[in-house]
C-alpha cells in the first residue's frame, strides 16, 4: 500500500484556540479511513485544511506527493479531492440535475464553458447515471431545496462523483440520516471504494465507522492520537480516555445519543 | 428515459406565441399611437425594460445587489455627448451608431468598478456600489470634460419631422430591448448562466466545485453594464441635454431593483413586466399630473403590495398558478415538459420561500 494523502505537522489556530496542534496522518491509497474523536478535536478543521478552505499556520498536505496546501478549494477539487459538508451544501434553487452539472463545469476551458449549454457531451447522461447510483434519479427535475436532508446528502455525494475524484472526504455522512438510508450509504461507500476511490470519513456513528473502515484515526485536542485497525481502536484505553476524560467531556454515549436524536 | 434524450430544453408553443405577439405589438405601436407624448412614454418603457433586464442579469442571478448600475448609464450618456461634440458629428440617425461605443466604454468602467467592489461580500457590495455611484456623480460635477453642473448639450436633429420625431428613438430602444433579452435568454441557457445561479445559492460551495467564481461574477457584472451604457447614450440623444444628476441618477437603481422584484427576480420575463408597467405609470404621472415625483409614492405602495401578497414577484407566482391549473388537465405530459421548460426559466430561478425556509431549518 502506498500513501495517497499525507498530512504533516498541521497547525491552525482561531484566535486563542488551537484547533489543530501538529496534526499528522497518512491515508493509504484504496483505504476507507475513519476519523473519529470528541467534538472540538479538530476533525472538521482538518477537512477544511485538506480541501483548501482554510490555510494552515504551519505544516503541509501532500496528495500523491504533491503539496496542495494553500492552493484554494477549486484547485484541490480539480486535483481530485471531493468533500461533503457536515451540514450539506447543495444549490437549493437549482434543479437536482443542474446541481450535478455544476460539478462538471471545471472540466472545460472557461471561455468555451460560457458558450456551451450545460449537460452536453454526455454530462447529462453521466449525471443521471450517478443519480441513479445513489437512488434519486427520479427527483432529477426537482428543485434541490425540496429534497429531504438525507436526499441532499446523497445528492452531495453524487455531484462530487461527477468529477471522478480519487479521494472522497465525507464529513458525517450518516449524521441525521435514517437507519435504512445509513445502511444504503455504507453499501455505496464500499462500492465506491472497491471501484478504486480512497475515502476519508468523519463520523460519530461508531457502528457505521467500525463497519466500513479499514483504518481509523482517533483525533484528540488537534492531534492524531493513534491510527489502527477498528478492533484495536475499539479496545485501546487511550480512546476511551479521550472521549470520557480531558477538557472535552462529551462521552461516547452522549455522542451516540446526539447522533440518534438528530436523525429524522 | 425522456430526460436522457432531451438535449436543449424545448420552447413551449405558448411562450413562442407570446414572444411573437410582443414583437408585433412593439413593431406597430408607434404607427397606431402617433401622439408624441405617448411614444415618449413608450421609449422610456422600452429603455427601462432593457436596463431592468440587464440589472437582473447580474444582480438577480448572482445575488449581488448592485445599487451602482446608474454609473454605467451616466458613463454611456457622457461618452455619447462628448464624442458627438468633440468630433462635431452631424445630428442625425448616424448618432445611433454611438450607442454600442458608449456601451463598450461603460464596460471599461465596469471592469474597474467590479474589480474593486466584487472583492467584498454581498452586503458590503451593496454599500460599496452606492459609494462608487456617488463618486462618479461627483466626478460628473467636477471634471472639465463633463462641464460640471452646467452639463452637456447633445446635437439634436431639428430637421426631423416633428410628428414622427420620436420614432427613430423608439425603434432604437426596441432594438436595444430585443438585443438585451436575447443576450440574457442565451446566457440563462448557457453553462455560464448556471454557474452564476450556483454562486447565488452558495458561492463558497461553487468555488469548491471548481467554478471560477471571480471570473464569472466579474464577467456578469461587465456584461450587464453594456446594455445600461447603451441606454444612457440613447437617453442623452433623446433628451438633448445631460446633467450629472439626470444621468448619474440614484433613482435609476432603485427603479431597476423595484421593477425586477415586482416582476420576479431571477426570471427573464419579470423585469420586462415590472419595467413596462412601472415605467409607463411613472412617465404618465410625470406628464399628466405634475413633475413632483408622485411616482415615488406609487412605487412605495406597489412595492409593499407585491412584497406582501407575492414575495417572489408577479411572474413566478402567476406562472406557478397557471402551471397548477394546466397540470390538473395534462398531468403526465406536463411533468416532463414543464419541468424542463417553464419552471427552468421562471420558477426554478426564483428565490422560493420554500428554499429559504429549508435553508433556515437545516
pLDDT along chain B (362 residues), means of 10: 43 86 94 92 96 97 95 97 93 93 98 95 94 96 91 90 91 97 94 94 93 94 98 96 94 93 92 93 82 78 87 88 75 41 38 34 34
Distance from CA of B260 to the nearest CA of A (A): 18
A170, containing H or E segment: strand A167-171
Q: Which residues contact B176 (CB under 8 A, 6 or more apart)?
A: B46, B47, B50, B99, B227, B230, B231, B234
What is the distance between the terminal CA atoms of chain B, rounded to a whole angstrom?
33
Burial classification of residue A264, based on how many CB atoms lie within 10 Å of its CB (0-12 exposed, 13-18 middle, 19 or more buried): exposed
Residues in chain A, pLDDT under 70: 1, 113-114, 245-264
**Residue A86 near chain B (CB below 8 Å):** no
pLDDT of residue B348: 38
What's phi and psi for A25, nearest 5 deg? -160, 160
pLDDT of residue A249: 44
What is the arrangement of strands in the sheet containing A3-14, beginning at the earlier edge strand?
A: A17-28, A3-14, A58-63, A66-67
Handedness of CA A242, A245, A248, A254 (dihedral sign): positive
Q: How many residues does chain B have?
A: 362
Closest to B170 (Cα-Cα) out of B277, B23, B27, B271: B27
Closest to B74 (Cα-Cα) out of B132, B158, B126: B132
Angle subtended at Cα A246 by Cα A56 and Cα A12, rounded to the nearest 5 degrees: 5
Closest to B270 (Cα-Cα) out of B337, B223, B318, B225: B318
Contact B210 A78 (CB under 8 A): yes
Say whether B49 sits in a helix, a strand or coil: helix
Nearest CA in chain B to A162: B209
Set out the domains of chain B in order of their start, with CATH numbers: 9-353 (1.10.3470)
Distance (Å, rounded) from C-alpha B135 to C-alpha B67?
Answer: 13
**Residue A115 near chain B (CB below 8 Å):** yes
Q: Which residues contact A246 (CB under 8 A, 6 or more apart)?
A: A38, A220, A221
Distance (Å, rounded) from C-alpha A79 to C-alpha B259?
Answer: 44
pLDDT of residue B357: 32
Tell me: ipTM over 0.90: no
Counts for chain A of helices (H) and strands (E), in that order: 11, 10
Domain boundaries, chain A: 3-262
Distance (Å, rounded) from C-alpha A95 to C-alpha B5?
Answer: 17
pLDDT digits (tens, 9 = 90+) for A200-234: 999 988 889 999 999 999 999 999 988 999 989 88
Distance (Å, rounded) from C-alpha A149 to C-alpha B271?
Answer: 34
Question: Is CATH 3.60.15.10 what the domain over A3-262 is classified as, yes or no?
Answer: no
B→A interface, C-beta within 8 Å = 1, 3-4, 7-8, 189-192, 194-195, 197-198, 200-202, 204-213, 215, 219, 266, 336, 339-340, 343-344, 347-352, 354-355, 358-359, 362
Nearest CA in chain B to A165: B209
Distance (Å, rounded) from C-alpha A36 to C-alpha B28?
Answer: 71
Angle subtended at Cα B148 by Cα B145 and Cα B150, rounded to the nearest 5 degrees: 115
Nearest CA in chain B to A87: B362
Distance (Å, rounded) from C-alpha A43 to C-alpha A20?
Answer: 9
Helix ranges (H only) for chain B are: 2-5, 13-32, 36-55, 61-62, 70-86, 98-117, 122-142, 167-189, 191-208, 213-239, 244-247, 250-263, 269-288, 295-309, 314-329, 331-340, 342, 353-361
Distance from CA of A115 to the nearest CA of B (A): 6
Give which of A71, A96, A102, A168 to mutate to test B binding, by max B Cβ within 10 Å: A102
DSSP bridge pairs for A25:
A7
Amino acid at each position: 500500500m502506498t500513501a495517497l494523502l499525507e498530512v504533516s505537522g498541521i497547525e491552525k489556530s482561531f484566535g486563542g484556540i488551537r484547533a489543530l496542534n501538529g496534526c499528522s496522518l497518512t491515508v493509504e491509497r484504496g483505504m476507507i479511513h475513519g476519523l473519529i474523536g470528541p467534538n472540538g478535536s479538530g476533525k472538521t478543521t482538518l477537512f477544511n485544511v485538506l480541501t483548501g478552505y482554510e490555510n494552515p499556520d504551519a505544516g503541509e498536505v501532500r496528495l500523491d506527493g504533491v503539496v496542495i496546501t494553500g492552493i484554494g478549494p477549486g484547485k484541490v477539487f480539480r486535483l481530485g479531492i471531493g468533500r461533503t459538508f457536515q451540514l450539506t451544501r447543495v444549490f437549493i434553487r437549482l434543479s437536482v440535475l443542474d446541481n450535478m452539472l455544476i460539478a462538471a463545469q471545471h472540466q472545460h476551458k472557461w471561455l468555451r464553458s460560457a458558450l456551451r449549454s450545460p449537460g452536453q457531451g454526455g454530462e447529462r447522461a453521466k449525471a443521471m447515471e450517478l443519480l441513479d447510483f445513489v437512488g434519486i434519479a427520479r427527483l432529477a427535475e426537482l428543485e434541490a431545496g425540496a429534497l429531504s436532508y438525507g436526499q441532499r446528502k446523497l445528492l452531495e455525494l453524487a455531484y462530487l462523483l461527477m468529477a471522478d475524484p480519487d479521494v472522497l472526504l465525507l464529513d458525517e455522512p450518516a449524521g441525521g440520516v435514517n437507519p435504512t438510508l445509513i445502511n444504503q450509504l455504507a453499501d455505496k461507500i464500499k462500492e465506491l471504494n472497491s471501484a478504486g476511490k480512497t475515502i476519508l470519513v468523519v463520523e460519530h456513528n461508531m457502528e457505521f465507522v467500525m463497519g466500513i473502515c479499514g483504518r481509523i484515526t482517533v483525533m484528540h485536542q488537534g492531534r492524531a492520537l493513534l491510527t489502527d485497525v477498528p478492533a484495536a481502536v475499539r479496545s485501546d484505553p487511550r480512546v476511551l480516555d479521550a472521549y470520557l476524560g480531558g477538557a472535552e467531556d462529551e462521552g461516547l454515549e452522549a455522542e451516540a445519543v446526539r447522533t440518534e436524536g438528530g436523525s429524522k | 428515459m425522456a430526460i436522457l434524450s432531451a438535449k436543449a430544453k424545448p420552447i413551449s408553443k405558448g411562450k413562442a406565441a407570446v414572444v411573437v405577439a410582443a414583437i408585433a405589438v412593439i413593431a406597430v405601436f408607434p404607427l397606431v399611437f402617433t401622439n408624441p407624448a405617448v411614444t415618449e412614454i413608450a421609449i422610456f418603457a422600452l429603455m427601462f425594460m432593457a436596463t431592468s433586464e440587464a440589472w437582473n442579469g447580474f444582480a438577480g442571478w448572482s445575488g449581488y445587489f448592485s445599487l451602482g448600475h446608474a454609473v454605467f448609464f451616466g458613463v454611456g450618456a457622457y461618452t455619447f455627448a462628448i464624442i458627438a461634440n468633440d468630433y462635431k458629428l452631424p445630428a442625425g440617425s448616424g448618432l445611433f451608431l454611438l450607442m454600442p461605443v458608449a456601451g463598450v466604454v461603460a464596460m471599461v468602467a465596469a471592469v474597474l468598478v467590479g474589480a474593486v467592489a466584487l472583492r467584498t461580500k454581498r452586503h458590503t457590495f451593496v454599500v460599496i456600489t452606492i459609494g462608487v455611484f456617488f463618486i462618479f456623480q461627483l466626478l460628473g460635477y467636477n471634471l472639465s470634460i463633463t462641464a460640471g453642473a452646467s452639463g452637456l448639450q447633445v446635437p439634436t436633429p431639428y430637421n426631423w419631422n416633428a410628428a414622427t420625431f420620436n420614432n427613430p428613438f423608439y425603434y432604437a430602444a426596441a432594438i436595444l430591448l430585443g438585443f438585451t433579452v436575447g443576450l440574457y435568454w442565451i446566457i440563462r441557457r448557457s453553462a455560464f448562466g448556471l454557474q452564476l445561479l450556483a454562486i447565488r445559492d452558495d458561492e463558497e460551495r461553487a468555488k469548491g466545485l471548481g467554478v471560477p467564481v471571480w471570473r464569472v461574477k466579474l464577467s456578469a457584472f461587465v456584461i450587464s453594464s453594456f446594455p445600461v451604457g447603451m441606454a444612457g447614450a440613447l437617453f442623452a440623444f433623446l433628451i438633448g441635454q445631460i446633467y450629472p444628476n439626470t444621468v448619474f441618477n440614484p433613482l435609476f437603481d432603485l427603479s431597476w431593483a423595484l421593477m425586477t422584484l415586482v416582476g420576479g427576480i431571477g426570471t427573464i420575463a419579470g423585469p420586462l413586466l415590472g419595467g413596462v408597467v412601472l415605467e409607463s405609470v411613472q412617465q404618465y404621472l410625470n406628464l399628466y399630473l405634475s413633475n413632483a415625483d408622485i411616482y415615488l409614492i406609487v412605487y412605495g405602495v406597489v412595492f409593499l403590495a407585491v412584497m406582501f401578497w407575492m414575495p417572489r414577484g408577479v411572474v413566478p407566482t402567476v406562472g406557478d398558478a397557471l402551471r397548477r391549473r394546466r397540470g390538473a388537465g395534462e398531468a403526465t405530459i406536463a411533468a416532463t415538459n414543464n419541468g424542463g421548460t417553464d419552471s427552468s426559466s421562471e420558477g426554478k430561478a426564483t428565490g422560493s420561500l420554500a428554499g429559504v425556509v429549508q435553508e433556515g431549518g437545516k
